[in-house]
Structures are given as structure tokens and as C-alpha cells.
């Protein structure tokens, strides 16, 4: 039986429990293809982000350690990456990236491609009941596990 193709995308910096939940679900579903935002894309954020190669290396190390595999990581220059051209069975997203997944499926439909099944993972909550996010970590509110600082 052919493995299902699973798309995941993001900046993944700093890597936190919310990212880990998305990656865990993705690896449960099949063969994972990760779109990692390019430096040009990451520079559009309102917070500083580590360079692409450092983010990629950290992600590779985590995935190898956690899932025992070599990740398939592709540099993203836009929010869609290969999902608007290539076949994928699933796209695993968080609530804040749901609109992008919907847009991807609208583009695919216009191109005559079948939609990708969207798998939405709930936010992982910090101790204070608010979502863990890279911004909150960078602002010094919480650590990567959602523990208040």
C-alpha cells in the first residue's frame, strides 16, 4: 500500500509543543513533506527569526530524534509551496493557518486538482490557558512547553 503524502508548513522557530503536535499528527498520517519558510518569507514577520539553515538543521535534528527519519524539507517562497501543484492526501495545520489551507484548496480546484484533506490540530495551550506560540516564547512570556516565565 502506498504511503499517504502529508504536507506541513511553517517557520518552526522556536520549535515548540504546538509544532510538535502538528508534526506528530503528520507523521501518523503518512510520508511528510515540510515546507519551511525562506528567510525572505520569514523577514515579513514582526519578530526576529533565525536564518533558514539554522531552522532547517534544528528541525532535521528533532525529526530524526523523534521519528527516526530524514525529513523531506523544501524551502517555501510563498504560503502555498508545492501544495498547489503536487499531489497530497493531507495538509496538517493549526487553527491560525486554516485560511491558508482553504485558499490552497480553492487554487487546486481552479486548476482541476482534487482538494487536499485538511487536518486541523487544536492549539496546544500554555499554563495560562492561551495558545503556545513562537511570538509568546520570543517575548519571554512562556517557554517552548508553555510554562510561564
Whole-model pTM? 0.95
Any domain includes 148: no
pLDDT score recorded for residue 42: 86
Any domain includes 146: no
Q: What is the CATH number of the domain that holds 111?
A: 3.40.50.620
* Total number of domains constituting the chain: 1
Closest CA to 71 of 35, 38, 22: 35
Any domain includes 57: yes
Any domain includes 149: no
Helix (H, G, I), strand (E, B) or coil at 45: coil
The residue range of the domain holding 126 is 5-138
Residue ranges in 17-125 assigned as alpha helix (H): 17-29, 39-42, 52-67, 98-110
> Beta 72-76 vs 90-93: how paired, if at all?
unpaired
pLDDT per residue of the chain (149 residues) written in tens, 0 to 9: 789 999 999 999 999 999 999 999 999 999 999 999 999 998 876 678 999 999 999 999 999 999 999 999 999 999 999 999 999 999 999 999 999 999 999 999 999 999 999 999 999 999 999 999 999 999 999 999 999 99
Amino acid at each position: 500500500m502506498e504511503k499517504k503524502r502529508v504536507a506541513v508548513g511553517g517557520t518552526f522557530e522556536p520549535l515548540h509543543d504546538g509544532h510538535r503536535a502538528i508534526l506528530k499528527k503528520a507523521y501518523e498520517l503518512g510520508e511528510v513533506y515540510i515546507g519551511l519558510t525562506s528567510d525572505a518569507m520569514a523577514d515579513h514577520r514582526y519578530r526576529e527569526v533565525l536564518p533558514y539553515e539554522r531552522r532547517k538543521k534544528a528541525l532535521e535534528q528533532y525529526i530524526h530524534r523523534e521519528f527516526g527519519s530524514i525529513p523531506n524539507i523544501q524551502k517555501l517562497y510563498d504560503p502555498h509551496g508545492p501544495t498547489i501543484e503536487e499531489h497530497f492526501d493531507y495538509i496538517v495545520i493549526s487553527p491560525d493557518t486554516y485560511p491558508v489551507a482553504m485558499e490552497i484548496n480553492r487554487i487546486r480546484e481552479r486548476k482541476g486538482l482534487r482538494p487536499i484533506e485538511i487536518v486541523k490540530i487544536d492549539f496546544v495551550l500554555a499554563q495560562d490557558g492561551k495558545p503556545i506560540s513562537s511570538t509568546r516564547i520570543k517575548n519571554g512570556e512562556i517557554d517552548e512547553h508553555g510554562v510561564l516565565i
